[in-house]
Amino acid sequence: MKKISPEFIRAIPKTDLHVHLDGSLRIETLIELAGERNIEIPSHTEEGMRELVFKERYRNLGDYLKGFRYTTAVMQDTEAVERISYELAVDSFSEGVRYIEPRFAPQLHINRELEMTSLLKAVDRGLSRAAGEFNQSPGVKNGTEPPYSYGIIVCALRMFGKGFSRYYDELMNVMEFAPKKKIFRAASLEMARAAVRIRDAGLSSIVGFDLAGQEDGFPAHNHYEAYQHAHRNFLHKTVHAGEAYGAESIFEAITELHADRVGHGFYLFNTDKITDGDIRDRDKYIFDLAEYIADKRITIEICLTSNLQTNATLKTLSDHPLKKMLEAKISTTFCTDNRLVSRTSISREIELALNEVGLDLKQLKQCIFNGFKRSFMPHTYLEKRDYVRKVINSYEKLETEYGIA
């Protein structure tokens, strides 16, 4: 295989469809905002925060998630949220990402001074400002390069408890005697209704709905009503599934929640993760599920570094199921998950896919194009087709320039 240079990887148009806003701050911004807002953090130096919080490797998923208590703490006002959104877009666009879909759970940021509409508008302002600046480049202005663009994905959460956020504390107080499952269901439905309502009121950059949080013990079907509302109102749908649980979780995401894409899907091929006793032939169940995903072009949002950091069973990326997904002709695309927490970028994820997973040039190209084709881009179908054509033309021109073709 021809050698792929880092310069080529940075130059080609790319997407990041699975990137958490509250996991992708600049570390210096986190430290600065914490100081300005009198928020306690373990260290006020970049070196200290990387040593104590944002590490190269984590013991487990719980260890990985600890950093979010600090990132969400500084994201409780519109000024901070707009700045963080802008900087995420700038950092992404600077490495050749042309389209991003930042996602976050508004419930973690809503407070008595910040309601959901203002919060989402702040995110949009930050992303829009960055896109506007980058779209002044000569290639974009003369139409030879695809422009920079974005969409926003609103997340609901599978579960939560007292002290999780002001929003959830008040909800649990109101529904004090209700079963927790009912409380979780009500919260996700409210998020779906709010996302649709705010989108329809003019914030067209809201393009999708997501479900995140602990899979084991908190099944997707608990959030059926929320996804039905999103589905009926033409809001695209993605679901975290198969990250820490098995194929059954992915099956539920697709069949119960109408998922257009699946976040992670790491345990898709793992028969040991199947727990349903009624599934007698586990190999056939997984084969049929993979075939269905491939046939319906349900895209898996691949997060290599994040999976390596949070799954103890994955010792090396050469064992990552991405290769098997590609062999099954499943649509996949490269994502960062959390640029800060995983200390990564899309360019780095692609380098890992090439050098450690072992993707070839054809597979790389297809994964890149999948990201654009299966995005939730807030444009008409014909506009999106034109955009993808520009991406393909730009990519193939760069192949020639770098001697890849």
- Asked if residues 88 and 100 have their Cβ atoms less than 8 Å apart, the reply is yes
Closest CA to 15 of 259, 274, 379, 334: 334
Q: How far is CA 153 from CA 203, 261, 294, in A?
A: 12, 12, 24
Non-local CB neighbours of 120 within 8 Å, separated by 6+ positions: 106, 152, 154, 198, 203, 206
Q: For residues 294-328, b (16+ Cβ closer than 10 Å) or e, as one string?
A: eeeebbbbbbbbbbbbbbeebeebeebbbbebbeb
C-alpha span between 259 and 253 (Å, rounded): 6
Q: Are 163 and 173 in contact (CB under 8 A)?
A: no
Q: Which of 82, 243, 248, 349 is catalytic?
A: 243
Other Cβ atoms within 10 Å of 362 Cβ, number: 10
DSSP assignment of 268-312 = TT-GGG---TT---HHHHHHHHHHHHHHTTPEEEE-HHHHHHH-T
Task: Looking at 175-281, list the stretches that DSSP marks H as alpha helix, in order from N- to C-terminal side.
Answer: 180-200, 224-232, 247-255
On whether the CB atoms of residues 395 and 1 are closer than 8 A, the answer is: no
**Dihedral class, residue 99 (left if φ above 0, else alpha if ψ from -120 to 50, else beta):** beta
Q: Is there a catalytic annotation at residue 243?
A: yes
Contact 171, 159 (CB under 8 A): no
Mode of pairing for the β-strands spanning 14-20 and 97-104:
parallel
DSSP line for 142-172: TTSSPPPEE-EEEEEES---TTS-HHHHHHH
The beta strands (E) that lie in 24-161 are given as 97-104, 149-150, 152-157
Residues designated catalytic: 243
